[in-house]
Amino acid sequence: MIHRSIFAAVLLAWTAFAAPQLTTIQDTLYKADGTRFNGLVTITWSNFQAGDSTQIVTQSRTIKVANGNLRVQLVPTTTGTPPTYYSVTYNSDGLVQFKEVWSVPESSQAVRLSDVRVDLGNDTAAGGTAPVNEADVTGLVADLGARPIKGPGYAPGHVAVVNATGAIESVTGADSDCVHVDGSSGPCGSASSFVDGETPSGIVDGSNTSFSLSAAPDPVSSLDLYRNGLMQKSGQDFTLSGSSLQLAAAPQPGDTLLASYRLAGDSASPSQMYPAAQVLCSGTGASTTGTTLSSVGVCAIPAGVLLPGDRVEVRYDLQHSGAVSGFSFEIHWGATTVAHRDAAVSDSLVTGRADAAILSAGAQLDFQSWGAVLPFSAGVASAADAYSSGLTIDFRGMLAQSGDTLTLGNFTVVRFP
């Protein structure tokens, strides 16, 4: 009775540590010329769990094929978790001849290569499993579409802010500035800012006593005025009216005047969202051979970028090739035509610029253009196009008759605060 118990325990332990079931792949390999294949076959696989719950770890195995005879035993993959493939590479004469993928079934009999070869196209990874397409992951495409994108004012190494269109911009300003909750930047401190060590403007010639500051001190008592390092007394050595200084005695040539004072905050003039110049669009445009006006370049300015007081500068260059036709071109600010020019067939190069002064409503526009033959022309106009919801600058061109080509070679749109 004791011996039977020992035998049962040994049998149970042997079963627990038994090797996984293997399938034999056996076949004869030939080359296209009828001779037998000689070389190495490298089989690679990734981690998976066999059908009998055996854990198979990532590994590879290289076997030698002599006189075309291939024989190898592998754990079945058709019942594995996750579904897995073997990646097989054939090497002969020191070169990789070809690669293929195997899906090995469970079988007590030897199987041939035709029984295990599968065609996964270009979707098979080197590790033996196929990559997952984005569309196959539930919700992934929608999540990627909802992620924030870079806006026209994005720059690395700066504080990020989300603009009115939901795109990520970068806050601009001096290193010492503070960032406000609306994404603007400015001197730190909400009540006032400081001017230190300013040299009042005015002639120091021994007779002039009138000088001026760059701004009016607020409060007036915050002004500290120094002459050659000696502090001057208000009402005795000088008087202040706004930003104008009147000194009791004229400074002599070589004297040094320095002023330090405070400025009151101005809640009626909010900080600009984008307080530094930024390139809104730049690049090369398209070409046209048509005889009707068509777009050869577009700059779409997002909503919330332009603010009253801004200025937008547009520069562009056109090239005309051919000797058959003259051409025309226009610049559109929204629905407003900024400029229209007609050039001769001999005009190979044309350039121009336009400026838009952003008003509280609409903009005032001006333009200049000229060419190799095209005479210089300039003009000014107004545009009622709303910019708060975004605005498009469109470059258009056409040929007088077919046969030539008109190309927008370069355009740049820059916003200045």
- Whether residue 128 contacts residue 85, with contact meaning beta carbons closer than 8 Å, is answered with yes
pTM for the full model?
Answer: 0.39
Averaged over 256-285, what is the pLDDT?
71
Q: Which of 184-198, 275-289, 303-317 has the lowest mean pLDDT?
A: 184-198
- Return the pLDDT at 267: 43
Q: Which of 26-30, 302-306, 394-398, 410-414 has the lowest mean pLDDT?
A: 302-306
Place of tokens 């080509």: 405
- What's the pLDDT band for 122 if we cut at 50, 70, 90? low
Q: For residues 19-38, b (16+ Cβ closer than 10 Å) or e, as one string?
A: eebebebebebeeeeeeebe
Span 295-323, pLDDT tens digits: 999 999 888 788 888 899 999 999 999 99
Pick from 88, 103, 99: nearest CA to 42: 88
Residue 16 predicted with pLDDT over 60: no
Q: Which of 22-26, 144-148, 186-190 has the lowest mean pLDDT?
A: 186-190
Pick from 172, 192, 174: nearest CA to 184: 172
- Return the pLDDT at 8: 52
Which architecture does CATH list for 278-416?
Answer: Sandwich (2.60)
Residue 199 predicted with pLDDT over 60: yes
DSSP 65-122: EBTTEEEEEE--STT-BS---EEEEEEETTEEEEEEEE-PPP-SS-B-HHHHEE--TT
Which architecture does CATH list for 2-118?
Answer: Sandwich (2.60)
> Cα separation of 293 and 141, whole Å?
38
- Return the pLDDT at 269: 44
Span 74-96, pLDDT tens digits: 999 988 888 789 999 999 888 88
- Whether residue 195 contacts residue 260, with contact meaning beta carbons closer than 8 Å, is answered with yes
> Cα separation of 366 and 313, whole Å?
10
What does the domain layout of the chain look like in residue ranges?
A: 2-118, 192-264, 278-416
